[in-house]
Amino acid sequence: MKPTKHNWRTKLHEIIYEADTPTGKAFDVILLIAILASIVLVMLESVKSFDAKYHKFLDIAEWIITILFSIEYITRIISVNKPFKYIFSFYGMIDLLSTIPKYVSLLLPGTHSLVALRALRLLRVFRILKLARYLGASNQLATAIRASRAKIAVFLFAVLIAAVIFGTIMYLVEGEENGFTNIPKSVYWAIVTLTTVGFGDIAPATSFGQFIAAIIMIMGYGIIAVPTGIVSAEYTKATGKDKGKLSDEEIDQLQSVHLNTQCCVNCLTEQHQDGAEFCYKCGCKLHHET
Amino acid sequence: MKPTKHNWRTKLHEIIYEADTPTGKAFDVILLIAILASIVLVMLESVKSFDAKYHKFLDIAEWIITILFSIEYITRIISVNKPFKYIFSFYGMIDLLSTIPKYVSLLLPGTHSLVALRALRLLRVFRILKLARYLGASNQLATAIRASRAKIAVFLFAVLIAAVIFGTIMYLVEGEENGFTNIPKSVYWAIVTLTTVGFGDIAPATSFGQFIAAIIMIMGYGIIAVPTGIVSAEYTKATGKDKGKLSDEEIDQLQSVHLNTQCCVNCLTEQHQDGAEFCYKCGCKLHHET
Amino acid sequence: MKPTKHNWRTKLHEIIYEADTPTGKAFDVILLIAILASIVLVMLESVKSFDAKYHKFLDIAEWIITILFSIEYITRIISVNKPFKYIFSFYGMIDLLSTIPKYVSLLLPGTHSLVALRALRLLRVFRILKLARYLGASNQLATAIRASRAKIAVFLFAVLIAAVIFGTIMYLVEGEENGFTNIPKSVYWAIVTLTTVGFGDIAPATSFGQFIAAIIMIMGYGIIAVPTGIVSAEYTKATGKDKGKLSDEEIDQLQSVHLNTQCCVNCLTEQHQDGAEFCYKCGCKLHHET
Amino acid sequence: MKPTKHNWRTKLHEIIYEADTPTGKAFDVILLIAILASIVLVMLESVKSFDAKYHKFLDIAEWIITILFSIEYITRIISVNKPFKYIFSFYGMIDLLSTIPKYVSLLLPGTHSLVALRALRLLRVFRILKLARYLGASNQLATAIRASRAKIAVFLFAVLIAAVIFGTIMYLVEGEENGFTNIPKSVYWAIVTLTTVGFGDIAPATSFGQFIAAIIMIMGYGIIAVPTGIVSAEYTKATGKDKGKLSDEEIDQLQSVHLNTQCCVNCLTEQHQDGAEFCYKCGCKLHHET
């Protein structure tokens, strides 16, 4: 059943939000290049010696990128039925944050460095590349990480409590004269130590402090095993499953797995099944070429 | 069979030590908030610039928290049959340690910073939240950690012996002029290095010292694999079990797993089975609403 | 069947490129020793105090090694049919790079230190020893690493993106006065922190910077679990396979895994089981030879 | 069959080398305490401020320990048939090294600090406690570590080659002015970085050096997964075995596992089977009470 009405907005939506048509794919590739270029630009600009030499060139390039991103932002808004849903979505906020500082810097010169917030747009790379898809078996990896996430979160919460307790003890033991100037800083030190990062910007100076530090480090060394063990076991489970012994429902799941990149014009819901005619969330008609 | 006598002490015990009744739950939530608030307070107080501005406010808040904790401490004592069992228990000691410094600081002004010991009360968070329970499968994680604990302890003991030997060698090789002023300090350095923390507050300066350090680091890198491998394998075992192929005894085990939060008035034993009428430790009658 | 023509070039090729004949093996052993000796030489030369004493001896030894390597290089070229294939191969480039700097240093004295590039020849050790082969089971290890490589690459790419984002944020938060002089340097710091290396040459000085650093470290601590889990699970799979002792059900399972390439005439569904008579999708009869 | 001749040497041998009799066990416990005490003594002595105060006491205690160890050393020699086998064994060397420096220091005062070599005697703790035995399942851990050892060694060898190559490159890139004074030092730095220790005593200062360092760190982060994966998989295999599905040969193996602590008087071979009458190595009669 062919959709009957093909106005410009539907077209735009197809190009910008989906990747099933050639133009949609081309848009994604160009966007990816633009994002990477904008990051490189921001980096070069931050290097003072480079900026001094090529300031003019960088400024012009910066403006071109900003205007392109602005156009993209506006087009994204006008091509969806519920623009506010996009504007207040996570990616909508980031898209805004990566264009606005350049304009604001015209009025308030000091704020120019905020263009660096554009680095957050790199997160869109995950969306465009759909990185996980590029590797056949990565659904298993995703499954393993998803299965481990909650347990690792609880685990890291426990690590955090340990850091607060150890940090407070070190504050009492070492005191201000050895760099442990206040409890938040001591907790920061405890995290640096427990995670085996060990900057050394603060280090225990008293014998007793070093003794406690040794305990913290050996603990950190022992407990790093826990999250690793979790992911490892979950991943073993996830990869073990699809070795021939799939249950009926799992086969069903796998068969229905191919979800296309279409995106509902009305509610921005993604991942519709390949033959879907209507959005599974809001029931709105999906527009696609046949 | 309904318990016949419901005096105020039984009521108090139910509220403070158990979490089966609405008031018991509410008490736990309030206690949790009070503990977190008291930690934040202690942290803010330790930041000199903040303390200078809001000293009065912090001091009053500190007194309120201290008095609340004191009331809780006293109530805990009077609501159990054997108060000394609570007083000399691990949590009893911590509860005392977190209230007393404030009172002592009235007499001995220098001891005020010891209120930071209150951070130890954070350990109660584990008890209140029963963190492990919040995640369905975490019994498996607990099983894995319990099964690994002894092996990891032996392993860490071996790491400690290695640290003593390497630390002593480095003391002989590097000597006092390069920061390895005595053997305990050298052992501390060896632990910092073996655990891959690497503060850099002490670092080998001679060629031979750096050569030995390289060996220590590569060893540390190789042996970090051991505890991880242990947890990972134990967890794989623990999670592998409940995949449909449970033995009868395991099902029995799981069925008896639901333990409520009741706590014996007489001996403070916890984790009674759901239908239990008497404490499984001391045989004393358990009081609960029906 | 004996080869009939044995000219000198075939002989040379056999000695240099192969290791099946006694002379071929002897050549490999001598080459290995020469490479290791040349590395030790370059190292000693770089130690100024040693070079000052034994400069003459080192220079002569250097020339002997260089001439030997040059002879080897030329012989390698003339003993293959397609010399350019070798010259522009990876090992061909390295072999050239490890001889040429010594000759160039006669004309341009400053370039002498480039002989250190000879260290790259160490890679040939892998080729000569065929390290993996020396251990019976290492094909499994190779399989596991190969299976994990792509996933770990995607994972490290994700870590890199995280480093760019966190580095940029830290540049904005900490600024030039705390050592975060430009974004590339901040990204370098973020990598140092995420990988738990933690040099401490740059370290956050502001409270907010330390707070973000704590988040980065805890993240780094949590995500180190992912690549480990991948290798561990892949290796379990790789070693589990060739254990020969499959139970009957496992054999059944494996046998039922084999899905043939038949394709239903009616609905084009593929991957039917080996004994299937009817399409499992549309129930239509499958046609197959017997 | 009771052994007929029980001279004093056989008795001594039984007490010192074995742990089957009460006196043998008591000897081991006393030795353990003496070793630990001697380590603590050496540590305290190395702390200058402590040594200054209690020098006399420490010196006397040192002499007592030294004389006790000397007596033990001589008794060990006279109670075996082939004393030179003990003298030149690994533990024999360590036992000598831990007594001799004190005597030598009478003649050459500067050598006193070498008594610290006594720390090596800590290795005997492993032998006395037979640490692995104390944990039921630790044979599996031992199996896993033994199975992984060769692979981890090859792996660490590969890491070492990577360190040499990266260290040399960094020497060329950073040069002497940034702390990379010679290639061995650069290789040391590369090991510090690859193992994620990161002292920060040497750190790249140029942009290009930091770029290469970033690559090294991300590599180190990625490859730490390999040894962990190996141990983890081997351990899973080792623990998976004894879950009820033991093959006949494995049961045979387990049944013959109980080896006592007897030690042949003639050749010092250990781990004889429980009912053994003769040494399985040299055929010499074993002496034991019944």
What mean pLDDT do residues C259-276 have? 49
* C65 domain-assigned: yes
D55 C-beta neighbours (distance < 10 Å), count: 11
Q: Which residue is listed with tokens 């928290």?
A: B65
Extract the tokens encoding C52.
Answer: 């000052």
Q: Residues of D with CB below 8 A from B181's CB?
A: 48
Contacts of B246 (CB under 8 A, 6+ apart): B254
Indicate if A67 and A161 belong to the same structural domain. Answer: no
Q: Answer whether residue D266 shows pLDDT above 60.
A: yes
Look at residue C24 and tell me if it is in a domain. Answer: yes
Name the pTM for this structure: 0.79
- Name the residue among A171, A172, A217 with its Cβ closest to that of B195: A217
Torsion over CA: C167, C168, C173, C174 (sign): positive
Co-location of C28 and C111 in the same domain: yes
- Could you tell me if D161 and D84 lie in one domain? no
Q: What is the mean pLDDT of residues C257-286?
A: 51
Nearest 10 degrees: Cα torsion B122, B123, B127, B132: 100
Cβ-defined contact of D196 to A196 (cutoff 8 Å): yes
The structure tokens listed for B14 are 């139910």
Q: Which residue has the higher pLDDT, B104 or B267?
A: B104
Q: Searching chain C, which residue's CA lies closest to the CA of residue A50?
A: C182
The whole-number pLDDT of residue D239 equals 67
A182 shares its domain with A88: no
User: Contacts of residue C280 in chain A, CB cutoff 8 Å?
Assistant: none
Q: Is the pLDDT of residue C66 over 60?
A: yes
d(CA B209, CA B176): 13
Claim to verify: residue A185 and residue A93 sit in the same structural domain: no
- pLDDT-derived band at B240, boundaries 50, 70, 90: low
Could you tell me which of A203, A225, A202, A227 has the C-alpha nearest to residue A214?
A203
Place of tokens 């290890």: C141
* Single-letter code of the amino acid located at D82: K
In chain B, the residue whose alpha carbon lies closest to the alpha carbon of A157 is: B131
Give the pLDDT score at A193: 92
Q: What is the pLDDT of residue B270?
A: 60
Can you tell me the mean pLDDT for D100-122?
A: 84
- A41 vs A63: CA distance, rounded Å: 11
pLDDT in tens, A184-200: 999 999 999 998 899 98
Q: Decide if B225 is inside a domain.
A: yes
For the cut 50, the answer to whether the pLDDT of residue C247 exceeds it is no
Domain count, chain D: 2
- pLDDT, tens digit (0-9, with 9 covering 90-100), for C3-48: 445 577 888 888 887 777 888 888 888 888 998 999 999 899 888 8
Candidates D195, D217, D223, D245, partner chain B, best to mutate (most B CBs within 10 A): D195
Tokens of B38: 């008291």
Q: Which of A23-32, B257-266, D248-257 is the least confident region?
A: D248-257
Coil, strand or helix at B275 = coil
CATH of residue B88's domain is: 1.20.120.350
Which of D117, D188, D192 is closest, CB to CB, to B198?
Answer: D192
CB of D104 within 8 A of CB of D111?
yes
What pLDDT is recorded for position D149? 75
**pLDDT at position D108, please?**
83
B156 and B102 part of one domain: no
Q: Which of D66, D99, D130 is the last residue of a domain?
A: D130
Q: Say what the pLDDT of residue D167 is.
A: 92
D126 plus D143 within the same structural domain: no
Same domain, A112 and A187: no
Minimum CA–CA partner of A156 in chain B? B131
Give a yes or no: residue D212 inside a domain.
yes
Flag whether pLDDT at C78 surpasses 80.
yes
Backbone angles phi, psi at A19, to 5 degrees: -135, 30
Cβ-based burial of A196 (10 A; exposed 0-12, middle 13-18, buried ≥19): buried
- B142 plus B123 within the same structural domain: no
Asked if residue D82 belongs to a domain, the reply is yes
The residue ranking higher by pLDDT, B248 or B153, is B153
Most confident of B158-167, B240-249, D90-99, D184-193: D184-193
pLDDT at B191 over 90: yes
Report how far residue D14's alpha carbon sits from residue C281's, in angstroms, rounded to the nearest whole number.
78
Q: Is residue B281 part of a domain?
A: no
* Residue pLDDT, tens place only, C169-192: 999 999 888 989 999 999 999 999
Chains near B (3 or more Cβ pairs under 8 Å): A, C, D
Mean pLDDT of C56-76: 92
State residue C246's pLDDT score.
Answer: 39
Residue D253: is its pLDDT beyond 60?
no
Looking at D89, D110, D130, which one is the last position of a domain? D130
Percent of chain C at pLDDT > 70 equals 75
Q: For residue range A144-171, list pLDDT tens digits in order.
A: 777 777 777 777 788 888 899 999 999 9
Contacts of D200 in chain A (CB under 8 A): 199-200
Output the pLDDT for position D273. Answer: 52
* D159·B221 Cβ contact <8 A: yes
Based on the fold, state whether residues B106 and B210 are members of the same structural domain: no
CATH classification at residue A201: 1.10.287.70
pLDDT in the model for residue C131:
52
B20-29 long-range contacts, CB within 8 A, separation 24+: B20/B260, B20/B261, B20/B262, B20/B288, B20/B289, B21/B289, B24/B261, B28/B128
- Regarding whether D162 and D92 lie in a shared domain, the answer is no
pLDDT reported for residue B63: 92
Structural domain that includes position B19? 8-130
Find which of C212, C218, C219, C223 to mutate to test the A interface (most A CBs within 10 Å of its CB): C218
What percent of chain A has pLDDT above 90?
A: 21
Is the ipTM of this structure higher than 0.85?
A: no
Neighbours of A6 (CB within 10 A): 12
Q: If DSSP codes are grouped into helix, strand and coil, which group holds residue C263?
A: strand
Whether A260 maps to a domain, the answer reads: no
Contact status, residue C144 vs residue D229, Cβ threshold 8 Å: yes
Kindly state whether residues C42 and C108 are assigned to the same domain: yes
**Which chain B residues have a beta carbon less than 8 Å from that of C228?**
228
Does the pLDDT value for residue A115 go beyond 50? yes
In a domain, A279, yes or no: no
The pLDDT assigned to B133 comes to: 52
pLDDT attached to residue D29: 86
Confidence at residue C211, expressed as pLDDT on a 0 to 100 scale: 93
Nearest beta carbon to residue B200 from set C200, C229, C232: C200
CA D25 to chain centre: 21
